Structure 1
Amino acid sequence: MATLHRLLGESASQIVTHGQARRTRYAARRPVRGEWADWPLYEIDATGRAHSRARLTPLASQGSSCPGLAEAGWPVPPESRDGWWEGLPYPLHDMRPQGYIGRQIARAEHQALGIGADPDRWSDDDVLIALSRIGSDLSGSFILGDEALARWQQHSLTPPEPHPAPTLAAHYVQLAEQALTSGVPGSSAAGEFPKFCALRDAPVARTPHVLVKFSGADGSPTVQRWADLLVCEHLALNWAGTLTGVEAARSRLLQAQGRTFLEVERFDRHGWLGRSPLVSLGTLDAALLGSGRSDWPDLATRLMAAGWLAPDALAPIQRLWWFGKLIANSDMHTGNLSFRPRPTLTLQLAPAYDMLPMLYAPLPGGELPARTFQPPLPLPPQRDTWHHACQAAQGFWAEAARDSRISQAFRQQCHAHHSTLQRLAERV
């Protein structure tokens, strides 16, 4: 033991130590690109002030050290309570570039960063490099590394002006063209809306930061269907917000030069500079449960049983889940439900988003096949929750059936689904 302590003392600069007494563990640092460095982890609060939260150190031969996340309000699995992580700490997982915008960032920056163009194939070291160099405006409230924080500080001193309302639609047309030019070919055909981030001037908004999805402009049946779905998403978010205990992302629609734009206010941003933390259900499952399941209520029940989700959050998740099923949302994966950590080390449900009847999305080739919508029925213990969600779903289908921004053919389908739910509600 004395020899071990002597060796540890001689190599103190390359050793990380956590835990006390019998829980004490040691690990060797690992260089990233030949540099023996660790990264400070900063957090921007809701007022726009930066705070030091932790330090992240890569370890040999894999994994990392990052103590202090529990003190910042994040639920921490037992094996990580002393600061040890098998890979990167899970609160960083949703920060990595992903989706349409993430792939745009990767394609634009990968050569300068010295990493691959496909962010889905990045290693943990690739993610560290990307987050620490260009990660000043990612999902949630964390910023990793001094270089990324310096970018944010510079931006905070001279923030760009939000675009004024009178010319906003024309501005969105320009941003859409830019997004398509630098974006990922075929994304919308493959079932993903192209999108861009923007700043817009809206006096009653909580923040100028928005995410904007948009349709094509050629008037084809495929493009019309995507436009119909964007209108439906706006209506569905409004109706989801009527569910007890559910808040929904604030959205609005604009149309210009043949395109439909869905503007969604970012709920991880507050005012100009403020931010709030955010984590997806999929990331929570991988880090805390490891179930690999996709059923929102089932995963929420497991999180609650483990003490990571407050009991009063379960019923709203169940209502939102049934609402999605009753509006034909066939894409309710675990990346489409998110949470905010609270000081009590429990999770708070974040506003609903990406809620729309994806059953009717065009196929990758653009075809619009006939679809059969079969609304699911509840088991007896689920009946009250089902009826609550069904009332909101009926409201959604009825409003969609009247909305002139939706094509006549799809409005007729919406009317039929409203009638179907009416009949079911009388029998269930």
Structure 2
Amino acid sequence: MLRTPHPTLRPRQTVYRILSNGAIEPFAEIEFLAGGGTLERTTRETVRYDGLPPYMVFSSPTGFLGRQVARNAAAALHLPESLQDWSDDHRIAYLFSRGVNLSGNLIYGEASLQREMDFRNAPSVSSAEKRQHYVAMATELRDATYGSSAGGEQPKFLSLVEDSGHVIVKFAKAGSRMASLLPLEHVALRTLEHIGVPAAKTQVFSAGDHVFLEVQRFDRLGRHGRVGMLSCGAIDDEYFGSRDTWSEFAARCEKAGYLTRDEAHHLNVLAAFSELIGNTDRHFENISMLLAENGDFAGLAPAYDILPMRYASIGGGVDPALHPITPRVGTIGAKPAVWQRAAQAAHLFWQSVQQDAVGFPVSAEFRELAHRNLAAAQTFVAPLLP
């Protein structure tokens, strides 16, 4: 028996996908079943899910951006204003009526397809106006920003700009702790790229009274092309149900054939590098995998959201003390090849901060912290290196 998840929706819907060249084609026929299940029909197979398919879970609003979506959709769709109160039916109602410019390459239903077609005609922000536009967006979101740091969330917005294309823009008030950390995220990702671990492209700059970190979206190709992706949280929930550590997830995926040996190694390096720079925010939404156009797994996505989160504000205007890092082996284990690459990256990272070679002003207290953290990282890894 079918169910109608929302008065405006039919119990049968079509999911579309945008290919790398920008073309749009049907991906799956979806039926919403009584009891909360979902039936998916594709040209390859028919699958019944007890809840939502993993790609719908991934596409559903979350975090800072998700809360803004919930507030905007509440009145129009008669949904709860708080994202915490959303059920699967609420998520379906949003995806199949107002979902546009979502992560990955899927479009849910004809109403969202029309929104996506309209979005193609949206003008991009010129390079000359970009900073002014970012300041205006940050100012507009200011009221929604306060109290948003729970769970390590960072205020952000989406944009389409002339010089960088589709971007996610994080921002922080100048002088705040997060304004000191956003440039370090830029350095961390460039450092990983230097040692051969793919990472998202970023730029960091100040404008008005804010610091901005612009992150190019790796699920976009040019103006209209897209790349499929899933968070490792959605993947783990569907296939393993563990959500333990990045290293254990890497081992499971290598064994299952979802990741190659090199890709699993990269994920271990990300975990080890995180230990050596104080990145304590290693949940499963902060790593993702790319999807080929036939739906198969296509490798680990570029690194993102890698920064020293142990020093991030914890809300209420409270900033943790700048104590040195305390790395742990954890489930990474004594893997010399992993720790060697991670140590190389950590050395470059802390050295850049210590020498104020970030390309953005670094405070004296963070330069001193970098000196202590570099020594702590070197002491820790010494027994683990070849």
Same fold (TM over 0.5): yes
1:311 aligns with 2:275: no
Asked whether the equivalents of residues 199 and 210 of structure 1 are also in contact (C-alpha less than 8 Å), the reply is yes
CA distance in 2, matches of 1:421, 1:350: 26
Higher mean alpha-carbon deviation, 411-420 vs 44-53, is at: 411-420
1:19-418 correspondence runs (5 A): 28-33=1-6, 36-68=10-42, 71=44, 82-156=46-120, 158-160=121-123, 162-181=124-143, 183-188=144-149, 191-202=152-163, 205=164, 208-217=165-174, 219=175, 223=176, 225-244=177-196, 246-293=197-244, 295-342=245-292, 343=294, 345-370=296-321, 371-377=323-329, 381-403=334-356, 405-418=361-374
CA distance in 1, matches of 2:139, 2:58: 27
Q: Per-residue deviation at 1:380?
A: 7.2
Asked whether the equivalents of residues 148 and 155 of structure 2 are also in contact (C-alpha less than 8 Å), the reply is yes
Asked whether the equivalents of residues 141 and 275 of structure 1 are also in contact (C-alpha less than 8 Å), the reply is yes
- Give the secondary-structure state (helix, strand or coil) at the position aligned to 1:301: helix
CA distance in 1, matches of 2:205, 2:84: 32
CA distance in 2, matches of 1:313, 1:90: 21
Instruction: Give the AA of the match of 1:340.
Output: L
Asked whether the equivalents of residues 243 and 320 of structure 1 are also in contact (C-alpha less than 8 Å), the reply is no
Q: Per-residue deviation at 1:184?
A: 4.9
Q: Per-residue deviation at 1:107?
A: 0.4
Q: Which residue in 2 is equivalent to 1:8?
A: none
Deviations 1:161-217 (A, max 9, x none): x22223322221111001224x25311477422111112221xx4xx1111111114
Residues matched between the structures, number: 377
What is the TM-score normalised by the length of structure 1? 0.83
- Give the secondary-structure state (helix, strand or coil) at the position aligned to 1:239: helix
Q: Per-residue deviation at 1:66?
A: 0.5
Q: Per-residue deviation at 1:365?
A: 2.1
- Give the secondary-structure state (helix, strand or coil) at the position aligned to 2:41: coil
Q: Which ranges of structure 1 fall in alignment gaps of 5 or more residues?
A: 1-27, 72-80
Deviations 1:242-269 (A, max 9, x none): 233x210000011122311000001111
* Percent identity of paired positions between Structure 1 and Structure 2: 34
Instruction: Give the AA of the match of 1:240.
Output: L
Q: Which ranges of structure 2 fall in alignment gaps of 5 or more residues?
A: none
CA distance in 2, matches of 1:368, 1:298: 31
What is the TM-score normalised by the length of structure 2? 0.92
Rg (Cα) greater in structure: 1
